[in-house]
């Protein structure tokens, strides 16, 4: 099986040769090709070069366009500053006020960073279409609202100005749907939905305000022919019963989440990914222990499953340790 066939078959519950590997690599990816992070985040050719070399060198089964959370923010008029060695910084017209008229009107094909993502997908498609999974990314409605307002402001908005917070999420949702559809049209089989801020709210608030908007986005991705992958950093154990209603295809689980419990709650149709601690269990561990830990985790939760760290595997991770992450595990 090639990587794409392995990936799709696992999601569909079909027999595969070994468990697909989809570690999240950003800073490590830039370092791997001796590129600055500024170039990695701003230039699709650099990003794609890193993705393809990682797939070739380590046996990773997926190519993606993940570099930072600010693609959509810049389409709203946010000002981005690229940093040589780490994630860009980005300001937003709404950081200090609630005036929607200050936002630019997003245009996927005119926005430099959104178009850059689509150009990256096109470049991946030239060399990896139906050879590797190609995964696009959008910010979830809550995450993009937090990008536009700042985390603290948005959390206060949810508590003190619910109508504003909801309108902001609704605007973010429309852009996310359109951006996701464009990425699928360009060749992505999967759309990752990053909604990290959701782990910082309680179940009641999540179920009432955030989850319904995630559901609309997930349904739109699936209706457009893509697989929907939800990525919420942090401990989402308290949110899992609600997440089960989203009918997602793939769920990233951070290292704080009990994977056995996640399987019990989300069921046997959701492909779980994760969830070793990227620092203590991967970067600072040993190859033998890493491989054994993934084997044990897989034995506990079974199919469908993708090998992945709890979140981004950091720069400075020994090459041998990443090789251990990607060492094939025969499928059940």
Predicted confidence at residue 222, as pLDDT, reads 98
Q: What is the tens place of the pLDDT at every residue in 222-263?
A: 999 999 999 999 999 999 999 999 999 999 999 999 999 999
Domains plus CATH for the chain? 3-84+101-325 (3.20.20.210)
In sign, the C-alpha dihedral spanning 202, 227, 46, 254 is positive
In sign, the C-alpha dihedral spanning 97, 167, 195, 220 is negative
The string over 124-154, giving b where at least 16 C-beta atoms fall within 10 Å of a residue's C-beta and e elsewhere, is: bbeebeebbbbbbbbbbbbbbbbbbbbeebb
Q: How many CB atoms lie within 10 A of CB 204?
A: 9
Q: What is the tens place of the pLDDT at every residue in 131-145?
A: 999 999 999 999 999
Give kind and range of the element (H or E) at residue 301.
helix 287-301
Structure confidence at residue 76 as a pLDDT band (50, 70, 90): very high
Does residue 128 register a pLDDT over 90?
no
Structure confidence at residue 127 as a pLDDT band (50, 70, 90): confident
Does residue 17 register a pLDDT over 90?
yes
pLDDT, mean over the chain? 97
Q: What is the tens place of the pLDDT at every residue in 280-320?
A: 999 999 999 999 999 999 999 999 999 999 999 999 999 99
Does residue 206 register a pLDDT over 90?
yes
């Amino acid at each position: 099986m090639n990587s794409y066939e392995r990936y799709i078959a696992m999601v569909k519950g079909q027999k595969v040769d070994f468990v697909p590997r989809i570690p999240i690599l950003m800073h490590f990816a830039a370092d791997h090709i001796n590129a600055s992070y500024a170039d990695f985040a701003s230039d699709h050719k650099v990003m794609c070069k890193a993705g393809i070399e990682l797939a070739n060198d380590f046996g990773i089964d997926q190519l993606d366009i993940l570099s930072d959370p600010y693609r959509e923010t810049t389409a709203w008029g946010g000002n981005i500053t690229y940093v040589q060695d780490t994630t860009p910084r980005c300001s937003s017209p709404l950081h200090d006020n609630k005036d929607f008229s200050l936002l630019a009107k997003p245009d996927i094909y005119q926005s430099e960073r959104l178009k850059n993502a689509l150009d990256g997908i096109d470049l991946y498609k030239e060399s990896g279409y139906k050879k590797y999974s190609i995964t696009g990314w959008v910010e979830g409605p809550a995450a993009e609202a937090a990008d536009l307002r700042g985390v603290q402001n948005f959390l206060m908005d949810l508590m003190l100005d619910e109508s504003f917070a909801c309108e902001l999420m609704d605007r973010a949702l429309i852009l996310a749907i359109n951006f996701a559809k464009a990425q699928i049209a360009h060749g992505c089989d999967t759309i990752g939905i990053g909604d990290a801020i959701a782990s910082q709210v309680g179940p009641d608030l999540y179920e009432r305000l955030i989850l319904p908007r995630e559901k609309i986005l997930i349904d739109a991705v699936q209706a457009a022919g893509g697989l929907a992958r939800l990525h919420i950093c942090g401990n989402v154990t308290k949110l899992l019963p609600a997440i089960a209603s989203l009918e997602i295809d793939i769920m990233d689980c951070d290292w704080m989440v009990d994977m056995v419990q996640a399987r019990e709650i989300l069921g046997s149709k959701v492909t779980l990914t994760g969830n070793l601690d990227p620092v203590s269990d991967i970067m600072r561990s040993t190859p033998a222990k890493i491989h054994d830990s993934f084997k044990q985790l897989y034995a506990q939760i079974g199919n469908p499953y993708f090998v992945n760290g709890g979140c981004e595997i950091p720069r400075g991770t020994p090459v041998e340790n990443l090789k251990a992450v990607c060492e094939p595990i025969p499928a059940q």
